[in-house]
Structures are given as C-alpha cells and as structure tokens.
C-alpha cells in the first residue's frame, strides 16, 4: 500500500515530470528516531546548488497479528499509518525552506523490503538513513541502516549524530566509480561556512605482500626505497 502526497510548486504535470527527471533525487527515510533527527540536521546544512527533489518516506510496519476482532487490527493499522503521516509532515515542516521541492510518501509493509522497493522505484542518487549508534546490532533501526548501506545501488549517507559544525570533510579517492560519484555529489551541495575538504588518496598495496625482496627488479627496488 502506498500513499503519495506531492508538495511541489504549481505547474503542469508534463512540465513537472520533465523537470523532475533532470533533478537530483534524494530519499530520506524517517521513523522519528534520534538518528532520523540527526539526518534532517545534515539535510538542513546540505544546500543543493542545482534543482533537486527530496522524497521523505515513512514506512508503517503493520505486522500480521492473530485476533478475533478485525476492528482491533484495523485500529492498530490506522494508528501506525497516522503516525507515519505525522512523521512525514514534521520532516516537511523542518526541511521545506531548504528543499523547496518535497514529496511525501507513506508506505505500509516490512521496513527492510520497502526500503529496497522505494529506492528501486524512485531511482535516487542519494539515500539518507538515520541510525542509532547506541542500539545493539539486533535493533530494527540498525538492521535497516545496515541493509541500506550494503544493498542499495546508490550513494548512502548513514547518520547517527548531528554535527555541531562542519569544518572538514574527508573524501577517500581511489579512482573507482564510487569515489568519482562521491566527489560529484559533494560538488552539488553548498556548505555554509565552506568546510575544508581533505582528499585522501588510497593505494592498494596488498599485492606487495606476496613478493619476496629478491623478486623485485633492482631498479624497482631502488625506487621503492627512496
């Protein structure tokens, strides 16, 4: 079950769809946790320099329970859906001044499955997930964040605490497509005040462990010891 509530500027549907196809797409999953609140603070400080749209998604986990009274189950389902809608509205109220093009989505189902489905449906360039660093590895919130970090086919920002200030960003570069994508995404945001960016070059030297010193050509060996 999916309930979408668009909140974009007034324009024709064709023009809006064409413009949205060219926008950078960001997904924020909200569950009311401390990690989600920290993630929203990051998005308040990430000011996009290009047209962007932010999807705020809440997943209402309505497990199947055995009950002789269908009305009890329906009341519980309604409470969970109402809470998810409220979480979306609270996030929109906080972020609307920073992200003018906002879309709200309330999804019903298992959080792990629906996280992957929503990302596959929206095709975002960045997914933002809050996580609770103090919670154990078996917590639901932590497991959803780990699932996103390992299985989503796009960039993922995992947030467990809000930054007091953003003074330095470390960007790991190894020439891979993922590293290039990270640099591209970083260039699409404006930070105030501008932080110091440290580009950290990473060279995989693990291949050298299997070589004996006598296997290295004298000239190469000489260069490596300089």
Tens digit of pLDDT per residue, the chain (226 long)?
Answer: 444 444 444 445 555 554 455 678 999 999 888 888 999 988 988 878 888 899 999 999 876 666 666 777 788 889 999 999 999 999 999 999 989 899 999 999 888 889 899 999 999 999 999 887 655 444 445 577 777 777 788 888 888 887 777 788 888 888 888 888 888 888 888 877 788 889 888 777 777 776 665 565 555 545 555 5
- Nearest alpha-carbon partner for 39 in 94, 102, 84, 82: 94
Place of tokens 């992200």: 99
Element (H, E) at 54: strand 52-60
Residue 191 phi/psi, 5° resolution?
-115, 135
Q: What is the pLDDT of residue 139?
A: 44
Give the separation between CA 65 and CA 70, rounded to whole angstroms: 10
Q: What is the pLDDT of residue 96?
A: 92
Q: What is the pLDDT of residue 54?
A: 94
pTM confidence score: 0.72
Please enumerate in sequence order all residues whose Cβ is within 8 A of that of 122, keeping only pairs 6 or more positions apart, or say none. 25, 27, 55
Q: How many CB atoms lie within 10 A of CB 132?
A: 19
Give the separation between CA 64 and CA 197, rounded to whole angstroms: 48
Residue 206 phi/psi, 5° resolution?
-65, -25
Ranges for all domains in the chain classified under CATH 3.40.50.620: 2-164
Integer-rounded Cα Rg, in Å, for the chain is 22
Q: What is the pLDDT of residue 214?
A: 58
First and final C-alpha spacing in the chain: 64
Give the separation between CA 28 and CA 26, rounded to whole angstroms: 7
Q: What is the pLDDT of residue 90?
A: 95
- How many contiguous H segments (helices) and E segments (strands) does the chain have? 7, 10
Q: Where would I find the H helices in 34-151?
A: 34-45, 70-95, 111-122, 140-151
- Nearest alpha-carbon partner for 144 in 2, 39, 1: 39
90, 118, 155, 161, 207 from 108: Cα distances, Å: 19, 11, 24, 27, 48
Give the separation between CA 79 and CA 91, rounded to whole angstroms: 18
- Whether CATH 3.60.15.10 fits 2-164: no
């Amino acid at each position: 079950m999916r309930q979408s509530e668009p909140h974009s500027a007034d324009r024709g549907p064709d023009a809006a769809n064409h413009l949205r196809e060219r926008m950078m797409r960001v997904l924020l999953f909200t569950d009311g946790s401390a990690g989600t609140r920290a993630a929203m603070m990051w998005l308040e400080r990430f000011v996009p320099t290009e047209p962007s749209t932010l999807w705020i998604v809440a997943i209402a986990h309505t497990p199947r329970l055995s009950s002789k009274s269908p009305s009890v189950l329906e009341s519980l389902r309604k409470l969970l859906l109402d809470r998810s809608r409220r979480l979306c509205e609270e996030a929109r109220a906080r972020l609307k001044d920073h992200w003018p093009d906002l879309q709200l989505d309330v999804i019903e189902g298992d959080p792990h499955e629906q996280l992957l489905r929503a990302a596959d449906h929206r095709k975002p360039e960045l997914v933002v997930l809050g996580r609770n660093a103090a919670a154990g590895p078996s917590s639901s919130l932590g497991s959803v964040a780990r699932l996103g970090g390992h299985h989503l086919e796009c960039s993922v920002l995992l947030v467990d605490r809000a930054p007091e200030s953003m003074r330095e960003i470390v960007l790991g570069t190894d020439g891979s497509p993922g590293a290039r994508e990270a640099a591209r995404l970083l260039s699409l945001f404006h930070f105030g005040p501008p932080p110091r960016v440290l580009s950290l070059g990473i060279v995989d030297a693990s291949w050298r462990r299997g070589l004996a010193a006598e296997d290295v050509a004298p000239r190469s060996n000489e260069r490596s010891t300089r």
